[in-house]
Amino acid sequence: MLIKSVRGFTPIFGEGCYFAENSTIIGDLIIGDNCSVWFQAVIRADVNSIRIGNRVNIQDGAVIHATFEKASTSLGNDISIGHNAIVHGCTIESSVLVGMGSIIMDDCVIGSNSIIAAGCVLAKGTIVPTNSVYAGIPGKKIKSVNPALKREEIDRIAKNYITYSSWFK
C-alpha cells in the first residue's frame, strides 16, 4: 500500500483494517475500524478532507476524492463502494451500497439504507432519500429499500468484505 502525506496531513486509520498492496491512501484522511481498501483503489485526500466510518469497503479500482476548498467527502459506517466507482465531494450516510462503476458527484447526499445501482451517475447536488434505490444516467429513484433488500444486499455485502479481508491479513 502507498501511504502518502501531503500539505502536512498523513492518513490515520483504525484497527483491523486491510489495505491491498497496490492501494493508495493520501493526505487528510481518517478511516475507521475494520475497513478494507482493495487492489488499485485510491483515496486521495490532497485537496480536501475525507472521513470514512467503520466497516467500509472500497473495492478494486474505486476512487474517492474531493474538491479543493468546496466539497469534502464523508462516508458513514457499513458502506460498500463497488469496483471502479467514483465518489467525489459528497456525503454518504451509513448502510449504503454503491454499485460497480457508478459515479457520485460533488454535493450529493446519499441517505442511509440506500442502493446506488451499478453504472448509475448522480449529478452534482443530487439528494437520495433514505431507503432508496437509484439507477440510470442521470440517476433516478426506481424503488424503495425494504428490510429484506437491506439485509440481503446492503448488510450481506458489507459483512462479506470483512470476511474477505480476513483472508489477506
Q: CB–CB of 40/62 below 8 Å?
A: no
pLDDT tens per residue across span 35-44: 999 999 999 9
C-beta atoms surrounding 136 within 10 Å: 13
Instruction: Count the domains in the chain.
Output: 1
The CATH number of the domain where 53 resides is what? 2.160.10.10
For 31, list phi and psi in degrees, rounded to 5: -115, 135
Residue 148 amino acid letter:
A
pLDDT attached to residue 109: 98
With a cut of 70, which residues of the chain have pLDDT below it?
none
Pairing state between β 132-135 and 140-144: antiparallel
List, as one string, the DSSP characters of 92-140.
Answer: E-SSEEE-TT-EE-TT-EE-SSEEE-TT-EE-TT-EE-TTEEEETTTTE
pLDDT attached to residue 169: 86
Q: Which helix (H) or strand (E) holds 88?
A: strand 86-88
Q: State pTM to two decimals.
A: 0.97
pLDDT attached to residue 135: 98
Domain extent, residue 37, equals 2-166
pLDDT attached to residue 131: 98
